[in-house]
Chains A and B, each alone.
Chain A
Amino acid sequence: MATDEQTLSETARIARAALANVAPEPGVAKPDPIMTAEGVRRSFGGITAVDVERVEIQRGSITALIGPNGAGKTTFFNLMTAFDTPDTGKWWFDGKDLEGVQAHKTADMGMVRTFQLTKSLTKMSVIENMKLGATGQKGEKWWNGLLPFTWLAQEREIEARADALLARFKLDHMRNEYAGTLSGGQRKLLEMSRALMTNPKLVMLDEPMAGVNPALKQSLNQHIKGLRDEGMTVLFVEHDMDMVHDISDWVIVMAEGMIIAEGTPDQISSNPAVIDAYLGAHQGKSLLEDL
């Protein structure tokens, strides 16, 4: 832990200090929440996929959302980003009520999400995928489409930004290839960097590490920490506890649709309720034992 403290970046130290005095209880209030959900429920037929009494996401932090398969993490993401509508409940982003706000509007407000099953636009090139991510494009109005002088300057700016991101995520050598030719891990990277093209305040990543090879995982870790250093808030779903412990400032645990625990990574690793929920689902092998 000692080395860890030394390698922490400035923003990480601020984020952790802000959360140091927050009680490790489900639904606890945060000093500066960017997203809040209250009484959000969603059921499919007989099963209740999500039943969250209250949860807050601290601004400027990296928050991990963990829980066994079927816990409702993806459904929770869908509800927050308006890809699905809850049966009841209210939720806010950056102080704004999101009830009835359409999915594409949430992205405009600064909330972007990726998908558990990667959604690369396979028949478009990598760079076109990236450029699609930029918001507020003048050329996306059909009447401007025929008047290149209205959008060419902006297009060049967007392209430069896209190229910089591709270089950062080491995808620049694939720039002009079809996205469909990328490996699974590269597609995850592309989807994440495409999401960043929207200039988000909150980045919600659904299992960004799934299918990514170990070498790439390490650098993906660094990239996610980098997002916080640039002032973004990150909420991500992950199964690998080592990685959760490595990069997150706060951990939220879901099981059977409910938030069953919250706390710093250290607090969560020693929480009996979590060990129960996890071990119940993972048949004995402790994911937390080496912590």
Chain B
Amino acid sequence: MARIVGIDLGTTNSLVAYMNEGQPCIVPDRNGRTMVPSVVALTDNGLIVGDSAKKYLTRNPERTVYSVKRFMGRGLSDVQSELAYFPYSLTETGGVIRIRLGQKSYSPPQISAMILKELKLRAEAYLSESITKAVITVPAYFNDSQRQATKDAGLIAGLEVLRIINEPTAASLAYGLQKNTQGTIAVYDFGGGTLDISILKLKDGIFEVLATNGDTHLGGDDVDRVLVDLFIAEIREREGIDISGYPDHMQAVRLEAERAKIRLSDELKTEIAIELPEDKGRFTRELTRDQLESLATSVIERTLTPCRMAIKDAGLTPKDIDEVVLVGGSTRMPLVRQRVEALFGKPPHCHLNPDEVVALGAAVQADILSGGTTDMLLLDVTPLSLGIETMGGVMSSLIRRNTTIPASAKEMFTTYVDGQTGVDIHILQGERELVKDNRSLARFRLKVPPLPAGVPRIEVTFLIDANGILNVTATDMRTAQSQSIEVKPSYGLSDTEVERMIEDSFKFAAEDIGARKLIEARLDAESLIKATDRSLAEAGHLVGPEEADAIRAALSQLSTVKDGTDPHAIRARMVELEQAAKHLNTVMLDDSLKKGLQGKKISEVS
């Protein structure tokens, strides 16, 4: 069977992993980086993804999409409260959010597909083989529409999605593989945009999920926002400027807030510096960890409620949990660790790299699916109750939350009026009594033969498969004929729309790859030019004048081709410049080493 890769499609960062001799490994890029920022930018030369796109967040905020995962499987009304934080323009067509980039609109699955394609290319380049199959992770608390949207993204990217697997359970597989633990564990996954908690029982290679809970709109992004709000208010007060009216500056504020938050995980205080619009200078202030924590407390407290519910649903108390595993970048915040430790009454386990463990687990699951291992088996659950609308706008539950999947339920339908030829069925997901408080998943119409009222007997089977995705089938019990059902999703792309998007994506693939290569080459050239300029300024006197001239010549040649359209030419000139500056860099390194050693005693050196 062809290789199946494991993909962590994150709100902030995405990764791809594969199995190598029984061990999962992350695919790095050519600079050794493992994470692809989940950012897509539209530039004059086309669409770009990842690190290079991240640079456009402040340069061109209206055309640079980040955190698109927050919009997967959602309608505009679901995200109303956070629209103000996004500089790009969002609209809605057919229950699906659309993101405007230049002349075209893209659905969230299309944007996610661009990230997936980037990962696919990365894996293909690294493994020197074509990759067409993947396991993709989603937050455990994702509903049916959000899962379906993720699957669509895979299809659009040209990937056969063999399994949608939950992020915390994926993490538990990687963890279990390494530690060979038995017992009850809690996986607390706090990433950029989502919070998940899963309680699992590990026994003889079986990973049985007992309960899961979470919030698909709660993550590090929300911590950044409390800081952003603070800075906006202070800038308004101190400088009289409403910086929220300047999208590029707002992105700078957001990025500075995130950087400060990250620094404060290791330090007790840090400096904030924000360039103000219209040459008003800079806004600076000191921020302490205490200040951050008092602002972030409410966000972090919100993560604990789902934890308590999951423990309760598992029929356990915190002391029954043998080990707590931390996943996701936001669990690096000391306050998060403290609160989690207080809740479970034991220090959490944080020896795994919280950024990589989900992708590693996805690779393990891929290995299981391809028959590579039969030692481990994951028994996951459905996070939300599934039901249908009944009389009076009430939801009648068919499959309860935390039911092990695959799970199925049957319901018999009949008619109320003589000769009635159809029965409308409305499928819902959620924990509330009333239809209007739950998530509408889909509607469909059962075809019924025209008979006296009450005579037809149509049995409908609702099956939640191992991906947590609903499948509906119907059988006429009188004739034993099954009928195909066309389900219209309430918040999702139709099959024909997905097909068109797949076609589009193939059409533009070649163009996009060309554009991407050019932009990446340019960005790399820019950094090389900057670095070499700096070396020349600092250490130019250490090499001969001829050598310095040669470097300057190579520099100016690179600068000229950089603005052209040939990525190969740019790369070639880069190699020349690197060659010319090689000696300079060595000399500079030696020099700085020597300087560093001066003033130290010999004993300190050896």
- A and B part of one assembly: no
Residues of B within 8 A of A (CB): none
Interface set of A (CB-CB < 8 Å, partner B): none
